[in-house]
Structures are given as structure tokens and as C-alpha cells.
Structure 1
Amino acid sequence: MAMARIGVLTVSDRASRGEYEDRGGPAIVAWLEAALTVPWQAVCRVVPDERPVIEAALVALCDVEACALVVTTGGTGPAPRDVTPDATEAVCERTMPGFGELMRRESLRQVPTAILSRQTAGIRGRSLIVNLPGRPAAIAMTLDAVFPAIPYCLDLIGAARLETDPARCAAFRPAGA
């Protein structure tokens, strides 16, 4: 089995300038380390909240780095500089709105302002891009909610096969898949 590559893209003006420690990207990597049971490699990037830069990073992670999964953190709110979902939709051939719907539903259990989130997901070639929130606790909560569907989605688009530790995250695949 080939080693899966997973892109982790932190979108933050301050973190990209070194003024703020990136906690979102490391939180994603830690969650994946606990959940995945197959060999995988994280391809991490930190970029500012600039739509062309985010789009270029997403394209590079999908097309050049051949990441089966690209997980972003940050830039999903309603503020003018929160453009991660816009960049994601611009580079994807198809959107996967169910991911954002489920993440918002789970987040609403914790905080009423979750309705302000514009998290989304989409497919670019053989890559799935998923936008997560920026806070580490919210990252874990949303990954817990959506990750059970991610391995099968990757199967369907011809990407790397991911297996999970069922005690941490039980991935769902239909019988025979």
C-alpha cells in the first residue's frame, strides 16, 4: 500500500508572519496520528488570509504534492478576510456541502455562533479538501463528526485508501467496499 499524503493548510495572517504560533495545523496532525492506522505523511503549509495564495496552496497540495486529503484550518467565518471557503470552492470541480452541514450541526451543540461558519468541502481531481475551524477543540470535534465518511469518499474518487482505528474513529464503508 502506498503511503497516503495528507495536506494540512493553516490559513492565518499572524501565523504566516510568525507573530502567532500555529496551533490548528498541529492539532489536525495530532488527531490524524491518533486515528489513522496506515502509513501516511503530513504535508504542512501556513499561508496568509489571501484568496490567491490560498488557492495556489490548495492547487499545489492536490496537483503537485498529490495529497489524497487536504484539511484546512482557519478563515471560515464571515469577516472580510475569511476567504478559505471561497478559495476552496474556486479550485474544486465539485462541492460536498454535507461536510459543512454536519460540522455546523455538531458545533451548534457547543456554541450558537456556529451558524456563522462557512466551512465547506470539495473535490479536486483525486483529492478531497475539507475546511475546518481554527480552534484546536473545534478541530477535534468536527473531525470526529466528519471523518467516518472521509475514507469511503477517498475510495470513490480513486484516492489513497485510509484505514482508521475503530476505537478512535470508526470509518464507514458499505459492505464489500
Structure 2
Amino acid sequence: MIWKTAILTASDKGARGEREDTSAQVIRELVEEELGGEIVEYRIVPDEQDEIIASLIELTDYYRADLVLTTGGTELAIRDVTPEATSRVIEREVPGMSEAMRSAWMERNRSAMLFRGICGIRGRALIVNLPGTPKGVHECLAAIMDQLPEALLMVTGQYRQ
């Protein structure tokens, strides 16, 4: 199965073109190589809650992405609002996935306890917040990659027991 995947980067510097989005490159590689997914949309927005919310809604409702992976805006800085924006658009949270990501990442990096990312369902899409660093993205996606196909089958209504 090819999963339609969207990538959303929340970054003030990235949105202004002042920083290369290396985290999204890691997401793209892992999605295409490990998950067999297809990137249907990619965008960078500033760390503004309203813009993140609007993008998440568009990616799930208009682009009909099965999976939306966000990167950035998940730590403690005042402008880090991706989890808040995500919580405003999801209908149900999937706490086990965010717990697994945090736990696996903390085994290698104690500062991972500062990661506030959440995971949840909007309609027939799974939204997963990832850290804003390439290494953090890799660690967190690796922690849940084996469960993503089953989760996506469930969320999209294709799961057969």
C-alpha cells in the first residue's frame, strides 16, 4: 500500500528562507524508503498557531493525506506551538505513539524529555508531531515506523482483523 503523506515544517527561519529544511529531507527519505509512502504535499510555515492549524486542515481535508508528519515547534520556546495547533485540529489523540517516540529518543538523548509533540487522528488521517532536528526526526520515526502501517490501516478504515 502506498500511503499519501504530507510534510509540514513549522519554522520562522525556514519560512523566511534563512535555514535549509534538513529535517523534512530526513522525513521524505524515511517515508519513501521505509514506509513506501508518497509525498503529496510539502510546505514550510512560520511558528504561528493559526497558520499551522490552517495547513493541517488543508493537508488532511483537501489533499486527503493519510499521514501528516510535522517537524519543528515542539519544544519549550515561546514560539513552539505545533502541539497546541495539532490538538486544536485532531479529534482523538494517540498518546502511545508520542510516548514511544519520547521514550526511545530519551535513551540516547536526555533532552528529549523537552519534546512536547503529540499524535492524533483527524478524519481518516494520522497527524504525528516530530522534533525539529534531523537526528530527532530519525530517532522518533524509527521508534514508531513498524506500527505506522497498521495504524494507517486502522485510521483509513482498511484494517481487516
TM-score interval for Structure 1 and Structure 2 normalised by the shorter chain: over 0.9
1:148, 1:4 → 2: CA distance? 14
2:68 equivalent in structure 1: 70
Question: How many matched pairs?
Answer: 161
1:151, 1:37 → 2: CA distance? 10
Q: Please list the CA deviations of residues 102-151 of structure 1 after superposition, one character each: whole Å capped at 9, or x if unmatched.
A: 11111111121111110110000000000011111111111111121111
Asked if the contact 1:92/1:122 (under 8 Å) is kept, the reply is yes
Aligned residue identity for 1:123: I
Q: Gaps spanning 5+ residues in structure 2: where? A: none
Greater share of residues in helix: 2
Asked if the contact 1:51/1:84 (under 8 Å) is kept, the reply is yes
2:29 equivalent in structure 1: 30
Aligned residue identity for 1:143: L
Asked if the contact 1:103/1:119 (under 8 Å) is kept, the reply is no
1:50 equivalent in structure 2: 48
Which residue of 99, 102, 105 corresponds with 1:104?
Answer: 102
TM-score using structure 1 length = 0.85
Asked if the contact 2:9/2:72 (under 8 Å) is kept, the reply is yes
1:88, 1:136 → 2: CA distance? 21
Q: Gaps spanning 5+ residues in structure 1: where? A: 162-172
* Deviation for aligned residue 1:80: 0.9
1:16 equivalent in structure 2: 15
Asked if the contact 2:119/2:128 (under 8 Å) is kept, the reply is yes
2:83, 2:23 → 1: CA distance? 16
Structure 1 consecutive aligned stretches of length 4 or more whose deviation exceeds 2 Å: none
Which residue of 92, 95, 117 corresponds with 2:93?
Answer: 95
* Deviation for aligned residue 1:9: 0.5
Q: Please list the CA deviations of residues 80-119 of structure 1 after superposition, one character each: whole Å capped at 9, or x if unmatched.
A: 1100011011000001111111111111111211111101
Q: CA RMSD in A?
A: 1.7
* Deviation for aligned residue 1:33: 1.8
Aligned residue identity for 1:28: I
1:167 equivalent in structure 2: none
1:169 equivalent in structure 2: none
* Deviation for aligned residue 1:66: 0.3
SS of structure 2 residue aligned to 1:54: helix
* Deviation for aligned residue 1:30: 0.9
2:40, 2:97 → 1: CA distance? 21
